[in-house]
Amino acid sequence: MQINVQAGDIARIDRPCIIINLFEGVGSPGGATGAVDRALEGAITSLIGAGDIRGKWGEFTLVHTFGKIPAPRVLVAGLGKSGEFTVDRVRELSANIARYLRGRRITAAGTIVHGAGIAGLEVERCAQAIAEGALLGAYRFNRHKRPEADEAELDALTIVEHDHAKLNAVERAVERGVILAEATNFARDLSNEPGNMLTPTELAGRAEAMAREVGLDVEIHDRAWAEQQGMGSFLGVARGSAQPPKFIILRYRGAGDATPVALVGKGITFDTGGISIKPAQGMEEMKGDMSGGGAVIAAMGAIARLKPKINVTALVPATENMPGGNATKPGDVLRAMSGKTIEVVNTDAEGRLILADALCLAVREGMTPIVDVATLTGAMSVALGDVAYGVFSNSEALVARINDAAREAGEKCWQMPMFPEYKDLNKSNVADVKNSGGRNAGSIAAAFFLKEFVDDRPWAHLDIAGVDFYDKDKGVLVKGASGTPVRTLVNLVLDLAERPL
C-alpha cells in the first residue's frame, strides 16, 4: 500500500472513497465532516437524525454521493465517546477501515486525520497511527494461495491535512509510521512462513538480504564458528536436526565507538520439542517459534531506516529442535559459552538454551543494556493470555523504558516478579543449573535461567508466547503472526538514543 500526504479539503479529493468521522452524540457535524455534509446537501445530518449514523465505536456507514463531490463514496466512521478516544484507537480504527474497504473491493481512498485536534490529540501522532494501522490491518499472508477471482487490495491511501503549515510534520510522522508497520509486517512474513521454507539457512538469507538493503553490517556464522566460540548450549539443541544451524549477527552503527545495545532473539525455525516431543495438536504453529528472532531482525531494519544516534547489535541463534538420532536427551549436560554447565531435563525447554549462548556473546562483547525476545514458555500464555507479554528484568529503569516504548506502540506488556526465591527452581544435582524448573512459575524460572548468563548488566527478557499468533483479525492484529514486539523494540532504541539508560 502506498500512503501519501496531501494538503487540501477532503471534500475535493477525487478517490473511489473518502473517509470522515463522527463522535458519538454529535447531532450536527463540524470540521471536515461538516464540510462534506454541506457538500452533500445535509445528507449526513439527515442520516444522523434518522438514527442511521450514531457515531458509536466500530460503526461504519457507507454513503453514495451521486456526483455531488468528486468521490463517489463517503465512509463515515464512528469514533465512540470523545473522552475515550486515544491514539491507540486511531491506529485500531485505521486497521479496521483498511479491511472494511478491502472487503468492498475499494482500492484507493482518502482520509482525514481522525480525531486530531477534536479529541485533544497531536496531529502528528494521529497521522503516524493512521499509517501504521492501515498497513498492519491490511496485512495478509497469501503467498502460498491462489488469488480469488474478485480479490482486491487497498493499494493507495491519501491522508489529507487541511493546515498547510503542518504538512511537513505530518509527512515525517507518516513516514515513521510506514517504516514501523513495514518492519512489523516483515516480521509477520518470517513467522508465517512454513518451517520447510524458512529453515535456519533461509532465515539467515532473508536477514542478510534485508541488511544489505538498509545498510546494516551482517555476519552469518555456521556450526564450525559456534564450536570455536564454545556454544555448547546452542549446538546441543541443533544436534537433532538435519538442517544446519546459523548464528545471525546484525550491527547498526549510528554512534561511532559507543557501547552497543543488544537485541537478542530466539530463532527456533521449527520446534517439535525434541526428544521431549510436543503433542500433535497445534504443533503446526511451532513454525512461529522464531518470532522473537524475527522481531529482532525486523526491528533492526526499521532502526537502520530511522537512523538514530546509537549503536545496536542483534544476535539471533537459529536452528530447528528435532528428535533425531543425534538429538540431545533428557539428562544430558551441555556446556555454555561462559563455561557454565546445564542439565537438560526437558528438551522442549530449548529456547533458553540457544539464548544462553547469545547472551554470553553479548556480555563478552560488552553490550549493554541487553533485551532478549522469545516465545519462551507456555506458562506465559496461562499467566497473561493473548493480551500482553511478560517483562522480566534486573533493572527497574530498563523496565520503565520498555513500558513507555510499548505504550507508544499500542502493545501491552506486564512486568513479572523476579524475587530471588524463584532462582532455586533451576538448581541441579549434576550441573551448575538445569534448563527447566517445572510447571509452577514456569515463565519466571525460565527468566531466572537466562539471568544466569547476563553477568548482572542491565537486562530484560520479553516472553511473547501468547501474543505471537492470533486466530482472527482484531484491530491492528491479524490472523496469523502478530509481529509483536517490533514497534516496541524500535521505540525503545529511539528512546535510548535520546536518553541513554
Active site residues: 278, 352
Q: How far apart are CA 421 and CA 444, in angstroms?
A: 11
Angle CA 15–16–18, to nearest 5: 65
- From the list 371, 344, 369, 359, the residue with the least C-alpha distance to 231 is 359
Question: CA-to-CA distance for 469 and 465, rounded, in angstroms?
Answer: 8
Distance in angstroms (rounded) separating the CA atoms of residues 144 and 140: 11
**Residue 311 is placed in which grid cell?**
549503536
Residue 249 pairs in a beta bridge with 219, 315
Q: Provide the 10 A C-beta neighbour count for residue 71.
A: 23
- CA atoms of 45 and 59, how far apart (whole Å): 16
- In SS3 terms, 400-449 reads as HHHHHHHHHHCCCEEECCCCHHHHHHHCCCCCCEECCCCCCCHHHHHHHH
DSSP code per residue over 19-43? EEEEETT-SS--HHHHHHHHHTTTH
- Residue 87, burial from CB neighbour count under 10 angstroms (0-12, 13-18, 19+): buried
CA pair distance 329, 149, nearest whole angstrom: 51
Residue 356 per-residue DSSP state: H
Report how far Cα 1 is from the mean position of its chain's Cα atoms: 19
**CA gap 467, 380 in Å, rounded:** 10
| Nearest in space to 86 (alpha carbons), one of 119, 130, 45, 43 | 119
Inter-axis angle of helices 200-214 and 167-192, to 10 degrees? 160
β pairing state of 217-221 and 267-271: unpaired
- Burial class from Cβ neighbours inside 10 Å (0-12, 13-18, 19+) for residue 234 reads buried
Parallel, antiparallel or unpaired: strands 156-161 and 246-253: unpaired
Query: To which residue does cell 533485551 refer?
Result: 371
DSSP state of 501: -
